[in-house]
Structure 1
Amino acid sequence: MSKKTALFIPSPIRSHVLPSFYLAELLSEEYDIVYAVGNHILEELCIENGFKCFTIGGFKIGLGMEERYIREKYGKTSFTRLFMAYFSNELYSLRKDIYDRIVQDWKPDLVILDVFTSTEFFILNQYSGLKIAFFNPMPSIYNVDEDPTVLANAPIENKPKSSKISKTNLLSWFTGARKYIMRLAGNFQYDDLIKKSGIAGSDTLIRSKFTLLFKDIPEIILVPEEFEFRLGGAKHYQFYLGLCQREGRVDTELDALFSEAWPDILKRKDNGERIIYCSFGTFFEGADRSLLNFVKLLSIALKGFENTHLVCSVNKYVIGALKSEGFDSDRVSLFSRVPQPTVLQNATAFITHGGMGGIKESIFYQVPMLVFPLDFSYDQNDNALKVEYHQLGIRGVFQYERVDGIKKKLKEILENKTYRESLRKFKAVTDIRYSRENVRHLLKENFSI
C-alpha cells in the first residue's frame, strides 16, 4: 500500500527548515515527505538530508511583497502599477497557479505550513480534502499578559525631541494621500483573500506581533513547553514537540577549512583546553563594525582564562576584515560556517544571539549559554530572558559590552555549576515527556496522522 504525501512549506530561512526535519522524519513513517522551499540553497539542504524537494520562490501573498515583486519583474515600480497589484491581487493569482500545479502533480494529503508563511493558508484552504497544520520553530507567539514581553529590557533608542508642527504643504498632502489610497488597496486585498479562502467568521483570524494566526488550525511548536515562562498556557490547538533534534543531520555550505582544523582543535581539548563556541547565525551579512569589535573584545577577554580556545562562526567578510586588520591569535579559530552540533557537543560554553535553533542544541548538549540578543523585533530577547529565567545561562547587551563585562559573564557560566545542573535537569524532563514514542502518539491522537 502506497504512502500518503505530506508537503512541508517552510519560510525561506535555514533556521526554520532545519528543525522541521525532525517532524518530517517522524511523519515519514506514514507519509512520503516533500518540501517546497523558497530558494535553491534550501533545496540543496533538504535533498542532502534525504527529502524530496522543489523550489517555489519566495513571494507570499498578504505580506506586502508587491513592491519587491514588481521591481524584480519590471525593473522599476510606480504608484499606479503598485496600486493595481494590490487591487487585482496579482500575487494571489500567481501563487494560486503554482499551488494548483503542486496539488495536481504531487496530490498531497497533508500540508505542514510554517506559521511565518501563514497567509498561504488563504489558498491552501480552498483544496478539498487537504489537511493543514502549522509548524512554529519558535516558542508560542501569542501574547501572554502576565509574562515579560519580547522587548523587556531592550536597549532604549535615542528619540529626537518633539518639534513644532511644520506647515502642511502640497507635497506632504500628496504623499499622505498616496499612502492612504495604498492602505485602502491593501484592506481591499485582505478582504478579498478572506472571501476567496472561504474562511468563516472574523474570529478565525488572529493578528500577533509577528504574523497572522488562524484559530483552531493545529499548530505544532518545535520547542519544549518547559522553555516557556509557565506551563499550561497553550491553546487547545497548540502542541509542543520538545527539542526536536534529528540525529545525523547534514549541514551544507560549510567552511572547507573547518574539517582541516577541527582534529587539531580536538587535540587541544584532549590536552585540557576548554572550547568556547561563538556564533551569531546569519544576522550579520557583511563586515559589520560592531561584530568586528566584539570578536576583538572577546579574544582579549579570553586571555584572562587559561586553557581556553575560541571557535567563532562569522561570515567570510568579517574574517577577511579581521585578517586585514592584523587580527591573529593561536587561541581563536574563525570559520564562515561550522557543523554546529559537532562543535557544541565538545564545547564548554556557547556565546549566541539567542536564535531558538542554537538554544535548543545547546540544551541538548548541556552547554551553558551567554546570550547577546541582536534583533529585538522577533524572539531573540524573549529567548534570552527565558534562558536566564530557567538558569540555562545569562544574557548581556551586545552594543555596550566591554572586556571586563565579558570576562565576568564568562567566569560565571564557566565556573558556576548551577547552569550545567539546570541544563541536565531540563533535558532529563524533556527527554521523558517528548520521547519519540510520546510524540508519535501525540501526532496520531491529535492530527489523525
Structure 2
Amino acid sequence: MLSPYYDIHFAVTGDVLEEIVVKQGYNAIRTSSFRVALGMEERYLWEKKMKHSKWEVLKCIRANELYHYRQNELAEIVDRIKPDIIFIDIFNSTDILVLQSRYKNISLIFLNPMLSTYKIPGFPTVDQGKWTPDKLPDEETKRRIPFKYFLTRPFDVLIRKVMDMQFQELTSIDGFLDKHPLAKDRTSAMLFDNIPEIILAPLELEMSPKVSKPNQHYLGLCISDNRKDTELDTSFDIRFEEIIERREKGRRLIYCTFGTFYQGSDRALLDFLNKLLDAIEGLENVEVIFSVNKLVIETISYQRKIPSNIHMFNRVPQLRVLKYADLFVTHGGLGSIKESIYYGVPMLVYPLDLHYDVSGLPTTYLLVAELC
C-alpha cells in the first residue's frame, strides 16, 4: 500500500525477521529488543555482561540507563533515515516515550497487528480465553502489592516503587501524559489515549462496530498476495505440483497448519493432529497438506504410518496453498483468518491455546463461515 510512495524501513530484532523483510524488498535495520518502562533492566544488565543483582537493577532503573540506551539506539536510526512517519508496534508502545520529545515533527502512529486490545463494556477482550465480564480486575487492583510482600520481598517492592517513579518521570517529559493519558481500558499493551492506531484487520471482524475507538483506523484484510515466504520446505515445489494434478482430476485439498507459535512437539497439538488424522484416513478422494515443525513430523511419523495422500512439510507458502485449498484447518490466528477470507476458503478452527489463539474470537468464526 505504501511502498510505491515511500522508502520503507523495518527495525527488526533477529535474523529470521531480517530475512523476511529483505526478501519482500524492504530495508531491515537491526535493533535490540530492549524496551523502556517494562522492567527489562535485569536482562539488559545481564546481556551487557554487567552486574545484575537487585541492587544494580534498582540503580539502573533510577538512573534511567535503559531509557538512554534505547534513546541513543533509535536516534541513530531516525537521524540517519529521516522518516516522515514512524509506526510503533503496540507491543513496543513505550518507544513513543523515547521518541516523542525529540521528534516533534515526525508523525508517531501505533500499529496493531491484532484486533482491538481495549476493554469495551459488554464485550470480551481479545486476550480472554474465557469471558467473565463481571470478574475483570481494574488496573488499580491488578497493580496492588500484597501486604505480605512488604515483609517477605521488601527489595522487590522497592524495585516496583522505583519503576512506578520512573514511569511517572518518563511520561511527564514535555507534558506527554497530560496530552496522552495512559489508557484505562487497555489490556494486552501499554497504550495511551489520543494516539492514532492503525489496525491491520477489517472492522467487521470485531465483536461489534461499537468496539472501535475514534483514534483507531481499520485497514481491512491487508493481504499481500505477492508475498515471498522464507525457510520453505525444499521438497514442497515438486510434491505440490503432483498434489495439484490430483486435485485437477477431482480430488479435494485440505490444508492444515498451526502458524509459527507452536515450534516444538506440543502435547495439545499432537493430540489434535492424531485425532484429525484418524478422521481424515476415513475420507476418500482427498489430498491433505500439513505444515508443522520438524519435531511434530518426526513424532507423528514414529507414532503411526502416514498414508500416501497425506503430505507433511516443515513450512509451505501459505497463500499459494490457499489458492487451491477446499478446507483450511487452523488454530485461528488472525493472519490465517484474514488470508482464508481473502481466498474464500472455508475453515475448521480449533484454538489450541485459549490465551493466544483467540484473536478472532468465536463470533468471528461464525462470520467467516458466512463470508466463505
- Structure 2 letter corresponding to 1:130: I
Measure the CA separation in 1 of the matches of 2:129 and 2:242. Answer: 42
**Match for residue 101 of structure 1 among 53, 76, 80:** 76
Identity over aligned pairs, percent: 39
Instruction: State the partner residue of 1:124.
Output: 99
**Match for residue 179 of structure 1 among 156, 168, 171:** 156
Give the Å deviation of 1:197.
5.9
- Structure 2 letter corresponding to 1:231: P
- Structure 2 letter corresponding to 1:133: I
Render the CA deviation track for 1:70-125: whole Å, top value 9, x for unaligned: 33222873211222222222211110011121122111121111112111000111
Instruction: State the partner residue of 2:311.
Output: 333
Q: Work out whether residues 154 and 376 of structure 1, in 8 Å CA contact, stay in contact via their aligned partners in 2.
A: no
Render the CA deviation track for 1:329-352: whole Å, top value 9, x for unaligned: 212211111111111111111111
Q: SS of 1:309's equivalent?
A: strand
Instruction: State the partner residue of 1:313.
Output: 291
Q: Work out whether residues 114 and 359 of structure 2, in 8 Å CA contact, stay in contact via their aligned partners in 1.
A: no
User: What is the count of residue pairs matched by the alignment?
Assistant: 354
Instruction: Mark the CA change 1:174 to 1:260 in structure 2 (over 3 Å): closer, same or farther.
Output: farther
**Match for residue 109 of structure 2 among 117, 133, 156:** 133
Q: Work out whether residues 372 and 384 of structure 1, in 8 Å CA contact, stay in contact via their aligned partners in 2.
A: no
Instruction: Mark the CA change 1:175 to 1:277 in structure 2 (over 3 Å): closer, same or farther.
Output: farther
Measure the CA separation in 2 of the matches of 1:293 and 1:233. Answer: 36
Give the Å deviation of 1:195.
2.5
Give the Å deviation of 1:383.
1.1
**Match for residue 371 of structure 2 among 423, 434, 437:** 423
Q: SS of 1:256's equivalent?
A: coil
Instruction: State the partner residue of 1:18.
Output: none
Instruction: State the partner residue of 2:27.
Output: 52
Instruction: Mark the CA change 1:377 to 1:90 in structure 2 (over 3 Å): closer, same or farther.
Output: farther
Measure the CA separation in 1 of the matches of 2:177 and 2:151. Answer: 38
1:80 has 2:55 as partner? yes
Q: Work out whether residues 373 and 384 of structure 1, in 8 Å CA contact, stay in contact via their aligned partners in 2.
A: no
Q: Work out whether residues 216 and 237 of structure 1, in 8 Å CA contact, stay in contact via their aligned partners in 2.
A: yes
Q: SS of 1:32's equivalent?
A: coil
Instruction: Mark the CA change 1:83 to 1:318 in structure 2 (over 3 Å): closer, same or farther.
Output: same
Render the CA deviation track for 1:328-378: whole Å, top value 9, x for unaligned: 221221111111111111111111111111000001011111222233334
Give the Å deviation of 1:248.
0.9
Measure the CA separation in 2 of the matches of 1:111 and 1:145. Answer: 31
Q: SS of 1:74's equivalent?
A: coil
1:192 has 2:169 as partner? yes
Measure the CA separation in 2 of the matches of 1:376 and 1:67. Answer: 30
- Structure 2 letter corresponding to 1:135: L
Measure the CA separation in 1 of the matches of 2:59 and 2:279. Answer: 56
- Structure 2 letter corresponding to 1:349: L
State TM-score, norm by structure 2: 0.88
- Structure 1 letter corresponding to 2:94: T
Measure the CA separation in 2 of the matches of 1:329 and 1:120. Answer: 51
Measure the CA separation in 2 of the matches of 1:315 and 1:375. Answer: 17
Give the Å deviation of 1:205.
1.6
Q: Work out whether residues 129 and 354 of structure 2, in 8 Å CA contact, stay in contact via their aligned partners in 1.
A: no
Q: Work out whether residues 180 and 194 of structure 2, in 8 Å CA contact, stay in contact via their aligned partners in 1.
A: no
Measure the CA separation in 2 of the matches of 1:324 and 1:77. Answer: 45
1:211 has 2:159 as partner? no
- Structure 2 letter corresponding to 1:104: D
Structure 2's unaligned 5+ residue stretches are 133-147
Structure 1's unaligned 5+ residue stretches are 1-25, 156-170, 393-418, 425-449
Render the CA deviation track for 1:126-170: whole Å, top value 9, x for unaligned: 213111111111111111212234435479xxxxxxxxxxxxxxx
- Structure 1 letter corresponding to 2:371: L
Q: Work out whether residues 125 and 198 of structure 1, in 8 Å CA contact, stay in contact via their aligned partners in 2.
A: no
Measure the CA separation in 2 of the matches of 1:69 and 1:232. Answer: 41
Instruction: Mark the CA change 1:172 to 1:238 in structure 2 (over 3 Å): closer, same or farther.
Output: closer
Instruction: State the partner residue of 2:43.
Output: 68
- Structure 2 letter corresponding to 1:423: L
Q: RMSD value over aligned CA atoms?
A: 2.3
Q: SS of 2:209's equivalent?
A: coil
Measure the CA separation in 2 of the matches of 1:119 and 1:288. Answer: 33
Q: As a proportion of its length, which structure holds more helix?
A: 1
Measure the CA separation in 2 of the matches of 1:53 and 1:263. Answer: 33
Instruction: State the partner residue of 1:386.
Output: 363
Instruction: Mark the CA change 1:197 to 1:38 in structure 2 (over 3 Å): closer, same or farther.
Output: farther
Instruction: Mark the CA change 1:179 to 1:275 in structure 2 (over 3 Å): closer, same or farther.
Output: same
Q: SS of 1:334's equivalent?
A: strand
Instruction: State the partner residue of 2:120.
Output: 144
